[in-house]
Each structure stands twice: as C-alpha cells, then as structure tokens.
C-alpha cells in the first residue's frame, strides 16, 4: 500500500480499525507527538502501557520502551514503527558483560535504569527511571551496597541526591553527552533571567550549571510551575514542542551540540516518522516478540519498581 497524502487522518482511521492506542515519548518528532493519544516520560509510558485496554499499542519511542510495554502487556500487540530505534545506553550494556559485573559484586543490589535490554532487566533486582531513581535508591536497605547500570551520569546524580554510594556501570547517552558547555554559558549570558532545566543524563559539569534537574515530565512540570518566563533546556529538543504548546507565553531555548551542530536530537528516537507509524498500523509490523521465560524474569524488577514508586 502507498502512503496516503493525509497521514494524520489515515492514522486516525486505521487506529479505530485496529483498536490501537498510540503512545509517544517527548523526544519524538513534533508530527508524531501531534498524532499520539498519550505523551509521557518513560515511567508514565510504562504505566499507560500496563493499564490500556486497547488491543494494539503503537509505541513511538525506542526499543527498550516498546519492549517494556510488551513485558507489562504480553497479550497486546506492541508495534514499534522502526525496529532500528535503539538506545546508546542499552547498547553500552551487553547482558553477558553485565552478568559478569554482577558476579564480581555478589553482595550488591543491582538497580538498572529502564534504558536497557530485557536481558539486563532480567539480571537486575530493581528497575528505575530518571523520575523515580533517587526515591527508589533511598528506599533500599542502608546496609546493602548497590550496583547501578547503565548510565553513569544519572548514577552520579542519584548518588549525590540520595547520599548512597553506588558502583557504576560506565555507560552514557550519546545525546546528553553532546551539549556544548560554551553554548550553554553563552545562552546564560544573553538571557541572565533564564532558568536552566536539565535531564540527569547530562554530564556533571553541565548539571552543575542547572537550576532544576529531572526527567522529561519533571522538566515540563517545572516549566509550568516556575515563575520564570525564559528557559534553557538541556535535553533532547523534542520536549520543547510540548513546552511551547502548553506555555505559549514563555520562551524556550535548546542547547546545541559541540561546534553548534544540531546533533542534540536523538538519532534513534527520530527514526520513527509519521509514515512509519501509518505503515506499522497498516502492516501490523514490526512487532515486539519476546521469549516468555525472559519476559517473566524481566517483569519482576519492573513490577517491583511500579510498586515502590509514588
């Protein structure tokens, strides 16, 4: 089938036929966010995926997010518009190496950021997202050492916020490592009253320049609640779309990558396009399929997270 001209209308019609819900992360293209039924951060999206009564979930995000949706909703068909939409953090933590790391620290509780494969989740005691990591780590028994994988920047921030010592896996996000400190300082100079909002995946020298640190949803909430009218946003610029829609009277600046390049967009997230959303609903593929034994092992630490997070 050829892609229709009015893709939003065609997607909306197909969605009814398939009894589908479209979930989108804030880092999706604006056009994809605009056709979504629900937009959220990774914790909210996993909760939505667990609670929906739709038969099909079109997950406009990256692979680990769609996989988490499948783990939580095994009876639903979970479609990912582009199967190549991976994540540098998940790639930085192969399951066999993580298993060896765990084996070297047998007394540690293993806390893994949701940005990892199902195989790594299955080897973990507890999953967290950027919105609940500090709170969950604080709830862990004080006499047990903790391993944290795969994002070392988030891990260091959790360490500072929780006061707990963490043994860190050396992974990082290629997007959050690109922001130029020089460009940030220049923006701060030009807009001295601007509030700097940052995602905890940013490197510490940038987080040190931030006024508020939190998950994508937390950054959006802060922009709504803060009396400031100008913001500099240190995360993937997809989030600025919802900020501008919700707060048209406020001004938002993204921070470019090194040398002013526009490499601050997540190349994985941006693989999903409106045409691929339509196509996956039309063809009912690519679909996330999982081995049931692996799914059950990965489910346990995710359920623990959902039970422990407020």
Indicate the annotated binding residues for [4Fe-4S] cluster. 87, 173, 266
Among residues 223, 269, 298, 302, the one that binds ligand SF4 under rule CB under 6 A: 269
Show contacts with ligand SF4 in window 112-131 (CB under 6 A): 115
Q: What is the length of the chain?
A: 310
- Give the three-state DSSP class for 294: helix
Q: Which of 87, 88, 85, 77 is nearest to 60 (CA)?
A: 85
Beta carbon of residue 267, minimum distance to ligand SF4 (angstroms, whole number): 8
Q: How far is it, in rounded angstroms, from Cα 205 to Cα 196?
A: 13
- Answer yes or no: are the C-beta atoms of 101 and 169 closer than 8 Å: yes
Q: Which stretch binds ligand SF4 (CB under 6 A): 84-92, 100-108, 141-149, 277-285?
A: 84-92
**CB of 8 within 8 A of CB of 250?**
no
Q: Which residues pair with 111 in a beta bridge?
A: 126, 148
By beta-carbon proximity to ligand SF4, the closer residue of 41 and 54 is 41
Q: Are 47 and 26 in contact (CB under 8 A)?
A: no
For residue 151, the cross-strand partners are: 171
201 near ligand 13P, judged by CB under 6 A: yes
Check residue 102 and report its DSSP letter: H
Residue 88 sits in the site that holds ligand 13P (CB under 6 A):
no
- E strand map for 8-90: 20-25, 38-40, 56-60, 77-79
148 binds ligand SF4 (CB under 6 A): no
Which of 45, 78, 166, 175: binder of ligand SF4 (CB under 6 A)? 175
How many Å is the Cα radius of gyration of the chain?
A: 19
Q: Which does 268 bind (CB under 5 to 8 A by kind): ligand SF4, ligand 13P, none?
A: ligand SF4
- Please pick, from the candidates 24, 87, 127, 197, the single residue that binds ligand SF4 as defined by CB under 6 A: 87
- 73 contributes a contact to ligand 13P by CB under 6 A: no
Number of residues that bind ligand 13P (CB under 6 A): 11
The residues that touch ligand 13P, with contacts defined as CB under 6 A, are 41-42, 115, 129-131, 173, 199, 201, 215-216
The residues that touch ligand SF4, with contacts defined as CB under 6 A, are 62, 87-89, 115, 173-175, 201, 236, 266, 268-269
């Amino acid at each position: 089938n050829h892609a229709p001209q009015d893709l939003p209308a065609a997607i909306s019609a197909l969605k009814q036929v398939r009894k589908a819900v479209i979930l989108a992360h804030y880092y999706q293209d604006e056009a994809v966010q605009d056709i979504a039924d629900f937009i959220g951060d990774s914790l909210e999206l996993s909760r939505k995926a667990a609670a929906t009564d739709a038969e099909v979930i079109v997950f406009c995000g990256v692979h680990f997010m769609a996989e988490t949706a499948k783990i939580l909703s095994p009876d639903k068909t979970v479609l990912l518009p582009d199967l190549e939409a991976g994540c540098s953090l998940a790639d930085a933590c192969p399951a066999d190496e993580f298993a060896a790391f765990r084996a070297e620290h047998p007394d540690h509780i293993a806390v893994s950021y949701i940005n990892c494969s199902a195989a790594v989740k299955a080897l973990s005691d507890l999953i967290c997202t950027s919105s609940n990591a500090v709170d969950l780590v604080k709830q862990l028994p004080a006499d047990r050492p903790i391993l944290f994988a795969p994002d070392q920047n988030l891990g260091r921030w959790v360490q500072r916020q929780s006061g707990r010592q963490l043994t860190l896996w050396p992974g990082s996000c290629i997007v959050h490592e690109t922001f130029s400190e020089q460009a940030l300082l220049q923006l701060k100079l030009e807009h001295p009253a601007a509030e700097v909002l940052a995602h905890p995946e940013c490197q510490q020298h940038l987080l040190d320049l931030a006024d508020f640190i939190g998950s994508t949803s937390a950054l959006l909430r802060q922009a709504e609640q803060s009396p400031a009218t100008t913001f500099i946003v240190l995360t993937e610029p997809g989030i600025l779309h919802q900020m501008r829609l919700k707060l048209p009277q406020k001004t938002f600046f993204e921070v470019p990558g090194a040398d002013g390049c526009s490499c601050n967009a997540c190349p994985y997230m941006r693989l999903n396009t409106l045409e691929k959303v339509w196509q996956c609903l039309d063809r009912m593929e690519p679909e996330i399929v999982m081995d049931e034994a692996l799914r059950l092992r990965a489910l346990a630490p995710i359920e623990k997270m959902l039970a422990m997070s407020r």
